[in-house]
Structure 1
C-alpha cells in the first residue's frame, strides 16, 4: 500500500498528514512556523520528513506553501511579507536528494483548489475559481488544469482594487485580518470573529453591521473576478468559510451591486475540505500519475 506525506506550510503553522492509496488523510500534526532565518523552514520540513520516515515507509512528498512556486523546479520564486527570506527556497531539489523520494511543490491556494476539485466542493467541476480569505487573500483558477499565467503570477487577487487615498488594496480591506481589525477597534481585542458571527446571528446590530460592511468589501473583489474570468463556480475558502451558508448569504446579498443588472450567473459556494484542502491538493500529482500509468 503506497503512502504519501503531505505538508502545508503557512506563515503561522506547518501542518502535515499522511495519505494512503484509498485517499484517506490521517495522522494530522502541526508545528509553529519558525522565523525563516538561515533556511529555517526548509530545515523544519526536513526534520518533519525524517521523523515521519522513522515509523512510516512513504513513496513521495507533497508540499503546499505560501508564495509563488515554480512547479517544475519546486522552488519559491516570489513571496510577500508573510514569510521573510523565502524567495529562492529550493524544496524539490534539496529534499529529493536528501531522502531519495519524488517531491511535488505547489502554491497553497492552488493546492487547496486542486484538493476541492479532486475530493471536495468542486469535485469533477471545471472553470472553478478559488478565493481564500485569511491573513491575506489568495486566488487560483482551474480550467482543466491550474492556470498560472506566463510568469506564474496570475490570480494574485489580494493586490486588486488598490486605493491611493487609503493606500490599501483588496486584502487589506477584505481579509479576515481586516475583519479582526475592525472588530478590535469597535468591540475590543478580547472579542473574536466567531463571537461576532454568533452575536450577529442572535440579532446584535453592531456585529451585524460589521459583517455586512466586511462582506461588501469581499463582494467587490468577487465582482472583479466574475467580470474578468466568468468562472462557472467560485469557491470561498479559508478558516472563516466554516461560517457556511450564513457567510455565503451575506456575500451573495452584496454582490449584485457591483455587477451589471442580470449579469450574475456564477455559482458561489463554500469550500468543504477546510484545512485539509491543501493537504489533499499537495499530493494529488502522485494519484494523477498512478491513474495515467494504468
Structure 2
C-alpha cells in the first residue's frame, strides 16, 4: 500500500499515523520523546520512517513539531524550554537526503489549524485564528495562507500579557498546566481537570470558581487577539477543548469583559479533531493541489 506518513512531535510524545489517497488517517502510534541530546529526536523520526517503510511504500513525510519552523528550509529556528537544544534541528535536508522522500515540516499549531480547515471545525474558512491550550499556549492564523510574520515569529501568543510583578505571561496563567497547578493547590494532588469540570457541572461551587478564574485568564488573551487581528473565528484547541460547549460558554462569558461594549463579533468555536488535527495538517501540503 502507498501512503503518506504523518508525524507530530511534542515535548512528551511523538505521535504518528498514516494517511492514504482517500484521506483516511489510520495506524496511530506514539512513542515517548527522548531527551534531545545529539539530535536524538531527529534520530527517532528516522527510526519511525525506517520502520514505516518496512510496512508501506511511503510517498512523503509530513512533520508537525513544537517550536518555530522555517517551513521552506524545514528547520527549527527557535524553541522554548519544552524541548532542549532543539533550535537548529534540520529535518528537511537531512531526511530528504537519507530517504529520498519529499518532506514537509510545520509548526504544530499551524499544522493543527491546517487540519481543522481541511477536515475539522473550520473547513473552508478564511480569517481563522487557532489557539491551543496545553502545557503552554500556541497560536496560528490563516488568511488565504498561514500568516507567520517576517521572522516566522507571529502568533506566539503564549508570551502575551507579561506581568513584571509576578514574572508571568499569558501561558503561565492560562495554559491547562496553570489550571492543573491551581487544582493541585486548592483541590488536591492527583485530581485531574476533567474531574474538576465534572464537579463544577454538578454544582460544586469551589470547582466552578476555579474554572471561572482560569477561563477569565484564557479570555484576556483572546481579547487581545480579537483587537489586534479581528479574525472571523477563533478555534480553541488542545486537550481541554474536549469540554466542548461548557468551556465555550464560560470563555465567551469572560471575553466580553475585556472588550468594548458590543465589540465581540468574532465567532468562538471548539476544535473538532483533537490529537488528529496536527496529523492531518502535517500532510495537508501533499493533498493541497488536488483540493
Q: Deviations over 1:245-278 (max 9, x none)?
A: 0110110011101000000000000000000000
Q: Secondary structure at the match of 1:286?
A: helix
**Aligned ranges for residues 202-213 of structure 1 at < 5 Å?**
202-213=202-213
Change (3 A) 1:88 1:62: same
* Corresponding position of 1:163: 163
Q: Deviations over 1:167-201 (max 9, x none)?
A: 10000000000000000000111111111011111
Distance 1:72 1:223 in 2: 32
Unmatched runs of 5 consecutive residues or more in structure 1: none
Distance 2:245 2:2 in 1: 37
Distance 2:26 2:190 in 1: 34
Q: Secondary structure at the match of 2:4?
A: strand
* Corresponding position of 2:95: 95
Distance 2:194 2:44 in 1: 31
Task: Say if 2:77 and 2:88, in contact at 8 Å, map to a contact too.
Answer: yes
Q: Secondary structure at the match of 2:85?
A: coil
Distance 1:133 1:192 in 2: 15
In the alignment, does 2:287 pair up with 1:287?
A: yes
Q: Deviations over 1:194-245 (max 9, x none)?
A: 1101111100011000000000000000000000000000000000000000
In the alignment, does 2:122 pair up with 1:122?
A: yes
In the alignment, does 2:61 pair up with 1:73?
A: no
Unmatched runs of 5 consecutive residues or more in structure 2: none
Distance 2:25 2:198 in 1: 31
Distance 2:80 2:37 in 1: 15
In the alignment, does 2:108 pair up with 1:108?
A: yes
Distance 1:224 1:23 in 2: 36
TM-score by structure 2 length? 0.99
Deviation at 1:289, TM superposition (A): 3.5
Deviation at 1:2, TM superposition (A): 4.4
Task: Say if 2:170 and 2:221, in contact at 8 Å, map to a contact too.
Answer: yes
Distance 1:2 1:232 in 2: 38
Deviation at 1:103, TM superposition (A): 0.2
* Corresponding position of 1:86: 86
Deviation at 1:11, TM superposition (A): 0.3
**Which stretch shows the higher mean deviation, 267-276 or 187-196?**
187-196
Distance 1:189 1:29 in 2: 29
**Aligned ranges for residues 1-294 of structure 1 at < 5 Å?**
2-291=2-291
Provide the aligned length of Structure 1 versus Structure 2: 291
Deviation at 1:30, TM superposition (A): 0.4
- Root mean square deviation of aligned Cα: 0.7
